[in-house]
Amino acid sequence: MTAKPPLTLLIAAPRGFCAGVDRAIRIVELALERYGAPVYVRHEIVHNRFVVDSLKAKGAIFVPELDQVPDGAPVVFSAHGVPKAIPARAEERGLNYLDATCPLVSKVHRQAERLIEYGRHILFVGHEGHPEVSGTFGQVPAGRMTLVESAADAEAIQPADPDRLAFHARPRCGEDRRQQLPDEPVGEPLLQRLAAPPEALERASDLQGRVQQRGLADPRRAFDHDRPPSALARGGHRVAQHAQLAIAL
């Protein structure tokens, strides 16, 4: 058998969960300690199969909708955040709920509300159906925010008032994806077509720190050495930032 050459493994830092994810997991664990099993969790607390399975083993039950939570049972809202209608519905039913929304996601929600108060129409970069996107859209009145998933979406936008636009993105949306809007090569032609000056497109986005550090710094680490670059990104297929990191690698 041919001997393989020595392998040097560099473990990038930072790694592991961000503070918001750690907090959400701990909230479920504390709920189980206080109330006992079962504790219901609306949506997966985080997109990590190991974490979800370990919490299931302790007595957590994950459901996609609040309607599946029995009366009188405690329920936790996931780190991704929820529309305003979800806590309101829980209160109507008298449910004891715990909100494990990541603080950065909550900040995005508040930013969206302020932009609407300022009279802006929000162009929101994200993926349709993602819980963070659904949660953010659920913070503002219907019709006041437009989802932008691609450059084609951006070019197709026909706002009623081009001078009152705002740009927003979910906190874990990849940096390269955010830079497509409203910057080159998509944003500038869009601004010209809309006859809107760059300052008219107000920006309010809050990329999660750990994601930015991994997505921008870690891939470069592989190129700091003389050997041919190679890197492995360990993560979940359903996690958007992991997909962005794999593209960067």
pLDDT digits (tens, 9 = 90+) for 212-227: 444 444 445 544 555 5
How many Cα atoms are found within 13 Å in the side-chain-facing hemisphere of 177? 27
Q: Please, is 177 exposed, middle or buried when counting C-beta atoms within 10 Å of its C-beta (0-12, 13-18, 19+)?
A: buried
Answer with the residue of higher pLDDT: 99 or 193. 99
Q: Residue 38 pLDDT > 80, yes or no?
A: yes
Greatest mean pLDDT range, 126-135, 152-161, 167-176, 192-201: 126-135
Catalytic, 132? Answer: yes
CA angle 156, 162, 167 (to 5 degrees): 75
- In this predicted model, which residue has the larger pLDDT, 192 or 17? 17
Is residue 122 very low, low, confident or very high in pLDDT (cuts 50, 70, 90)? Answer: confident
Please, how many CA atoms are within 13 Å of residue 210, restricted to the half-sphere of its CB?
Answer: 14
Domains 19-101 and 104-205 share a fold: no
Q: What's the CATH fold of domain 104-205?
A: Cobalt-precorrin-4 Transmethylase; domain 1 (3.40.1010)
Burial class (CB in 10 A: 0-12, 13-18, 19+), 143: exposed
* Residue 91: pLDDT band with limits 50, 70, 90: very high
Can you give the pLDDT at residue 144?
94
Write down the pLDDT at residue 211: 47
- Kindly list the domain boundaries of the chain, sorted by start residue: 19-101, 104-205, 209-248
Q: Confidence class of residue 94 from pLDDT cuts 50, 70 and 90?
A: very high
Q: Which fold has domain 19-101?
A: Rossmann fold (3.40.50)
Residues of the chain with pLDDT > 90, as a percent, come to 39
Kindly name the residue from 91, 132, 155, 184 that is annotated as catalytic.
132
pLDDT at 27 over 90: yes
